[in-house]
Amino acid sequence: MDRDLIKIKEIFIRALGKRWVSDNNRDLTFYNRDLWPREVISSKFGVWQHKPDLVLWPSSIEEVVNIVRLVNQYHINLIPFGAGSGVCGATVPTSSTPSVIIDLKRMNRIINVDYQSLILEVEAGAIGYPLEVQLNNKGFTLGHFPSSIYCSSVGGWLAARSAGQESSRYGKIEDMVVSLKVVTGAGEIIDTSDILSSEIGGDINQLFIGSEGTLGIICSAELKLNYLPKFKTYSSFIFKRVDDGLGAIRDIMQEGVGGTVMRLYDELDTYIALGHKKSQDKKAGLIQKYIDDLNGDLSDIFLKRVISFPQILNTLSQFIAQGCLLIVIHSGNENEYVKYCQKRCREIAERYGGEDSGEEPALRWERNRYSISYKQSKIFYAGGFVDTMEIATTWDRIADLYYEIKKVIQDRAFLMAHFSHAYEDGCSIYFTFASRAKNYNEAIKNYDFIWKNALDTVVRMGATISHHHGVGLSKIEHLRKQLGKNFELYEILKRTFDPNNIMNRGKFGSRR
């Protein structure tokens, strides 16, 4: 450990107390990555390339200001850390200088709830699920349900422009923000509740939301609350083709009768989401066996086959196609209205040839709504990798985008997709892809090939390279490609709020 670091560690200990400063190897190893699959692959093969040098746990915005000012004196790299469930490497220390992780989990208090104006003020380190439960107990909901809700924080949501499963009703996290308290890279507190920025001048909130720790540290936020809905309805429909389902979702959203949850699955994702009837066809029997393993108990031997022959599986999957499932959950405070929306959705779905398949698929989804992400580790253990890619575009290009990306990935990975965040003007596509990882070099080569080619296609088609996972390290090069000379804007903002480049170096807008 170099002299500056020893010195700065002592200063931090004086400022925060010994318990809240660590250079213990176990901590440094833990904080060396988030859940970016590329780093998970590395860890699995024993490659730990990005250990930070120190970890800090402040308990107040004043302590955060202190830390930032100290770090400014020593020109090292400071990385804000929420719950570590990001999947793009935004917290991975890649700086050319020493790195300090500032973990905000101790700052997890509810500061205030304004029951008249329905505004929650909460610290950035609050974890999603316990926060939501506390609100539910008082009859409210934040309306933000990412599948990472057990292991993601308010600050992380804001830093990456997170979307929850009910975004069609409640919006993405950036739509819920009333104000923020941010400590900039210069060590200044910006409290946008003073600025009331949504009414006059530019909206300063929108600069920090999505900045992924590169401009400063979001310490707390005022967020809009909603009454917990009293009534819910569950519907599902099967469409012949993805395109039919997309037409239905578009019309549903544009008519204003969209569900709180609306998810359209492509053929393969439908098979997994829906369960399936046993087929007499031999080829179908084979593929069913493979997929049962992916979906079920994942016995090693079958799983290895599944991820070893992605192209065969993708081809065979047509034999098990049962169509494309759309699930719709409506919710609200008035039964009459909720039922009306459900009825209109059914009429629109039927116009596109959708067949009613009852409540069960939607209920089943709800029961398992947070569990899917936690099954992924088994695929890594079985010698493969799995990742997700969430891109978005307007309705006029959504089907083309889906088919193009499929073409690009399907020779390299077992691939399925759903359409899960619908708006009046467009929709996102959520691809899940799995492939084998026999050894480190082959795995990384395959992984990088898939991402590079898929995102090249996204950029070429003028779609969005990320809907709600953020940019991190995984998409930074394509962000540059997409923005062209406009990328400079981020560099300007970076210099403005973080003049010494101490905040999360090497992420967007900054040198490593």
* 423-435 burial: b if 16+ Cβ within 10 Å, else e: beebbbbbbbbbb
Which of 255, 359, 366, 404: binder of a second copy (CB under 8 A)? 255
**Token pair for residue 443?**
């795995």
- The answer to whether 111 contacts a second copy (rule: CB under 8 A) is no
Least distance in angstroms from the C-beta of 116 to a second copy? 4
Nearest to 148 by CA among 60, 189, 88: 88
**Closest approach of a second copy to the CB of residue 396, in Å:** 4
CB of 390 to a second copy, least distance (A): 9
For residue 142, which of 116, 164, 159 has the smallest C-alpha distance?
164
Min dist CB 465 to a second copy, Å, is 7
Residues from 471 through 510 that contact a second copy (CB under 8 A): 471, 475, 479, 482-486, 489-490, 492-493, 496, 508
Residues 170-189 binding a second copy (CB under 8 A) are: 174, 178, 188
Does residue 395 belong to the site contacting a second copy (CB under 8 A)? yes
CB nearer a second copy, residue 400 or residue 411:
400
Among 77, 152, 211, 220, which residue sits at the site for a second copy (rule: CB under 8 A)? 211
Tokens representing 510?
A: 């900054």
Kind and range of the H or E run holding 141: strand 140-141
Residue 342 interacting with a second copy (CB under 8 A): no
Site string for a second copy, 283-322 (x = CB under 8 A): ----------------------------------------
Which residue lies nearer to a second copy by CB, 216 or 323? 216
Nearer to a second copy, 161 or 412 (CB): 161
337 near a second copy, judged by CB under 8 A: yes
Which position among 2, 46, 201, 367 is part of the footprint of a second copy (CB under 8 A)?
A: 201
DSSP letters, 363-380, are HHHHHTTTTGGGGHHHHH
Q: State which residue, 111 or 196, has the beta carbon closest to a second copy.
A: 196
| Site residues (CB under 8 A) for a second copy, limited to 119-158 | 119
User: Is 426 a binder of a second copy (CB under 8 A)?
Assistant: yes
110, with CB counted inside 10 A (0-12, 13-18, 19+), is middle
How many residues touch a second copy under the rule CB under 8 A: the total is: 73
* Distance, CA of 388 to CA of 478 (rounded, Å): 16
Quick one: which of 488, 482, 501 has its CA closest to 213? 501
Name beta bridge partners: 394: 426
452 to each of 413, 442, 449, how far by Cα in Å?
A: 14, 15, 5
- Of the pair 97, 254, the CB lying nearest a second copy is at 254
Smallest distance, Å, CB 281 to a second copy?
37
Q: Which stretch binds a second copy (CB under 8 A): 19-27, 72-80, 219-227, 273-281?
A: 219-227
Q: How far is CA 369 from CA 180, 226, 374, in A?
A: 29, 21, 11
Q: How far is the CB of 87 from a second copy (least distance, A)?
A: 14
Say how many CA atoms lie within 13 Å of 492 toward its Cβ: 6
Count the neighbouring beta carbons within 10 Å of the beta carbon of residue 484. 8
Nearest alpha-carbon partner for 185 in 64, 96, 20, 86: 64
CA angle 61-93-218, nearest 5°? 25
* Closest separation in Å from C-beta 115 to a second copy: 9
Among the listed ranges 6-14, 55-63, 381-389, 470-478, the one in contact with a second copy (CB under 8 A) is 470-478
